Chain A
Amino acid sequence: MEKEILFEHDILVIGGGLAGLRAAVEALKYGKDVAVLSKVHPLRSHSVAAQGGINAALGNTPDIGDDHWEDHAFDTVKGSDYLADQDAVEILCKKAPEAVIELEQMGTVFSRFANGKIAQRPFGGAGFPRTCYAADRTGHNLLHTLYEQSTSGDIKFYDEYFVTSLVEDNDRCLGCIALDIKEGKLKAFSGSVILATGGFGRIYNRSTNALINTGDGAYLAYEIGASLEDMEFIQFHPTTLYDSNILITEGARGEGGYLRDREGKRFMKEFAPEAMELAPRDIVARAIITVVEEGRGIEDEYVHLDLTHLGEEKIKERLPGIREIALDFAGVDPIEEPIPVQPGQHYSMGGVAVDTECQTEVAGLYAAGECACVSTHGANRLGGNSLLETVVFGKIAGRKAAEELDDKNAPESLFKSHREKDEKLIKSITTKDQGIVYSEILQQLKETMFQHFGVFRDGEEMRQGLDKIKQLQARYPEIYVQDTSLKFNQALVRSLELRYMLFISEALALGAIAREESRGSHYRKDFRNRRDDEFLKHTVLKKEKDSIKLEYSSVNLGQFEVKEREY
């Protein structure tokens, strides 16, 4: 008889982005047998697209004095609209300098000041130029560095493996089932699991995210009993390229770019007179939408991001990638013309609930990076803090998973039943003669999410949105793909992703409807104020039989007193 568990490892890292690779490198240091599974080649992970930079209180900028981790922590907590857990923020900010230096010593080519130190630029919501960068290709440079590190050691890579479920026994995660996309076969893996599957931006039709960001990890974890936290907090980036929604980094405003309405007026003056263009993202995104709705946008769709006054030299040196993007995707040269921009979904603050050591409620299951919620970002993430989170908490997850490893017995029969269940689902999709194609449901889902759970929200509209999501879920069983081949059946993979997306949308909707206040990125027209007495707490979603149970948990407050947010 063929063995059921084909691959045995100590630790299975699911995801080859920054969080996954950082975790893998760390676990390897502890002498563990580590494998990385990823649905795309690791270098194709979404992390590669991060542009602007990574925060650390290095205080490298000449002549403006020292920076301190406490200041970084304060900015982060304030930016989060006080929903971040302050113990988690403390870890993030304290470990930031060490994490950045470590990456530099691993080989990342950061941009430099004339004095040879790592260059830092101002970023939204930060009181100090704290964002270290490698031109405007920071994610690319970091991911390539970590890929270099992780492939020069003894880590086993399973590229183009799509994880379909986690295997659990007695509240303990024992491994996973994954579809080998190349062969079209389901295979069982045993080991502790670190989830590093990234965000779920693609449930929205306007998103800066890679097309593969479908939130698989949150669903996988939820299915075996882990909680999801703060799923309603979605960051909309104010400046994405009109139409294609490719990101135009906040670094462009950090370097001095202006936002202008149709008349050329710098409208941020009306919304954040002090911080202007560098107010936090939620505030700038709402400002742009308001301006467009007031009829002051261009073609009633977008506003202008003007860099022309920065001059050719600065644009070419500091923002070469942005110039390339504007030229390639909009035919606009920012040296000569302003860039057309509009807000788009950008980041998922919520995710799999973990403690500050990246542990979920299920033993042997850890999560780090954008798929997790520690929570360091609360209701609104500051730019440059999520790259930081991937490496700081990726490292912690790798260590913790290695330390906690014990001999667990992985019963073959359990893996077999999981695999057979997934196989049945796949068969039900690939053996129908007719039905609905995934793209039809997906398109409707994305539109629903943007319309009903976008930058501005409203109770009644959200309830209608939730109804639509439920209707779409009800149609899922009719989904079919025509392609009957096993090899690279992408329609099948996308249909499976859609299943996760439908679930995540519902979870998000439940959290958003229940939160009757405005906080950070969650802005309700029917509850315009923050309501600390009732809602200074995290939303927690748990599986209960076949429905989602909503609870709340308290926020870990600390040295920073909860205040109004003003910029």
Chain B
Amino acid sequence: MKFKVFRSNGEKSYYDDFNVPHEPGQTVLDALFYIQEKLDDSLAFRYSCRGAVCGSCAMLINKVPRLACRTQVERLKEGEDNPDIKGYPALKEGEKLNENSLLVEPLPHFPVIKDLIVDTEKFFEYYQELKPCLKTEGKPPEKEYFMEPEDVKELEEYTNCILCAACFAACPVDGENPDFRGPAALAKLYRFHIDVRDQEDRLELADHKDGWWACEFHTNCNKVCPKNVPPNVAIGKARAELKKKKDDK
């Protein structure tokens, strides 16, 4: 299988072609390791769990932001596994998709450090800005806070986020407006908002043009999310709540 891989030392960039022998069950991450170990040890990419839980290996694979360790080469070859996401300018940059090779590039909307490694500082800055930390009030109970299994279910949709930044790279709004806090940070904020244990007024934190109100509901975030987190739903609900609050005043 041919791989066309984006290369950069932060200044100059180009593409390299590699031939990787196919094996059953091979993931894109496996292929990158093959390249690093056998063909070119200077290729750089982040990795850790190889099981789609740590969020290290998000990159642009065949023009879709996704986890390299979760993406099966076989399925891509067969033309499967291509979520129908809305196009945006960053996808038109660089090499074009072509049938004979797999295209592997760094996540768009972030500065490249080296090859497939990007600087996600901004992503984590936005996450921190929205104060993702439980704030309870008064003396805590002696044992656990009680929670309804139903409440937990809704929360889990958001706590499942592994902060891989695929959604940020897939969001057309983030491409256009670098100040947009992005789907993951907002989903996290919403997760604390609906946590029955939390006593902080949170929605206001993103009640501005680069927060809840910047979203245009392209829903790329949910479509590329490896954990099926629905930031778009959170944003919609948050907006409705804020509107209602203002109307009630």
Contact = CB atoms under 8 A, between A and B. Distances in A.
A483 interface: yes
A44 B44 contact: no
A487 B56 contact: no
A137 B44 CA distance: 29
Interface string B38-69: 10111011111111111110000000000000
B159 A109 contact: yes
Given A112-B148, A481-B41, A148 B56 contact: no
Contacts of A141: 159
Nearest to A40: B48
Given A211-B50, A244-B25, A490-B41, 18 more contacts: A43-B55, A44-B55, A44-B56, A107-B192, A117-B146, A140-B53, A141-B159, A145-B134, A152-B132, A182-B113, A210-B48, A321-B53, A324-B52, A325-B52, A330-B25, A483-B41, A485-B42, A487-B9
B152 interface: yes
Nearest to A143: B54
Contacts of B162: 43, 48, 140
A327 B193 CA distance: 32
A329 B25 contact: yes
B199 interface: no
Query: 5 shortest A-B CB distances, which residue pairs?
Result: A116-B146, A107-B134, A483-B42, A491-B41, A439-B37
A104 B48 contact: no
B82 interface: no
Interface of B: 9-10, 25, 27, 36-38, 40-42, 44-56, 70, 72, 113-115, 117, 128, 131-134, 136, 140, 143-149, 152, 155-156, 159-160, 162-163, 192, 195, 197
Interface string A115-146: 11110000000000000001101001100110
B10 A487 contact: yes
Given A49-B49, A49-B53, A324-B52, A104 B144 contact: yes
B49 A46 contact: yes
A43 B113 contact: no
Given A482-B41, A487-B114, A491-B36, A40 B56 contact: yes
Contact of B54 (A44, A58, A481): A44
A5 to B, nearest CB: 26
A41 to B, nearest CB: 7
Nearest to A212: B48
Contacts of A437: 37, 41
B156 A135 contact: yes
Nearest to B155: A109
Interface string A428-440: 0000000001010
A437 B40 CA distance: 11
A107 B41 contact: no
A488 interface: yes
A212 B192 CA distance: 31
B48 A211 contact: yes
A106 interface: yes
Contact of B144 (A41, A105, A489): A105
A113 interface: yes
A478 to B, nearest CB: 15
A491 B134 CA distance: 40
Interface in A442-492: 481-483, 485, 487-491
Contacts of B46: 40, 44
Contacts of B47: 211-212
A246 B51 contact: yes
Nearest to A483: B42
Interface residues of A, number: 61
B25 A243 contact: yes
Contacts of A182: 113
Interface in A130-180: 134-135, 137, 140-141, 144-145, 148-149, 151-152
A241 to B, nearest CB: 9
A48 B54 contact: yes
Interface string A484-511: 0101111100000000000000000000
B40 to A, nearest CB: 8
Contacts of A211: 47-50
A436 B82 CA distance: 40
Contacts of B36: 490-491
A101 interface: yes
Given A140-B53, A151-B128, A117 B133 contact: no
Given A106-B134, A137-B160, A488-B117, A210 B146 contact: no
Contacts of A243: 25
Contacts of B156: 109, 135
Nearest to A116: B146
A243 B41 CA distance: 25
A45 interface: yes
A487 B72 CA distance: 29
A114 interface: yes
Contact of B42 (A110, A116, A144, A491): A491
Nearest to A443: B37
Nearest to B192: A107
Given A107-B197, A328-B70, A485-B9, A48 B49 contact: yes
Contacts of B113: 182, 487-488
Interface in A8-61: 40-41, 43-46, 48-49, 58
Most buried by B among A109, A114, A148: A109
Contacts of B131: 152
Given A104-B145, A211-B47, A490-B36, A109 B152 contact: yes
B53 A48 contact: yes
Interface in A305-364: 321, 324-325, 328-330
B26 to A, nearest CB: 10
B25 to A, nearest CB: 6
Contacts of B132: 148, 152
Contacts of A329: 25, 27, 51
Given A112-B149, A437-B41, A488-B113, A101 B56 contact: no
26 contacts: A40-B56, A43-B55, A44-B49, A44-B56, A46-B48, A48-B162, A58-B143, A105-B136, A105-B140, A105-B144, A109-B152, A109-B156, A112-B147, A112-B152, A116-B146, A117-B143, A117-B144, A148-B133, A210-B49, A324-B52, A325-B52, A329-B25, A481-B41, A485-B114, A487-B114, A490-B44
Interface string A90-118: 00000000001100111101111111111
Contacts of B41: 437, 481-483, 490-491
B70 A43 contact: no
Q: Which of B38, B44, B51, B152 has the most CB of A within 10 A?
A: B51
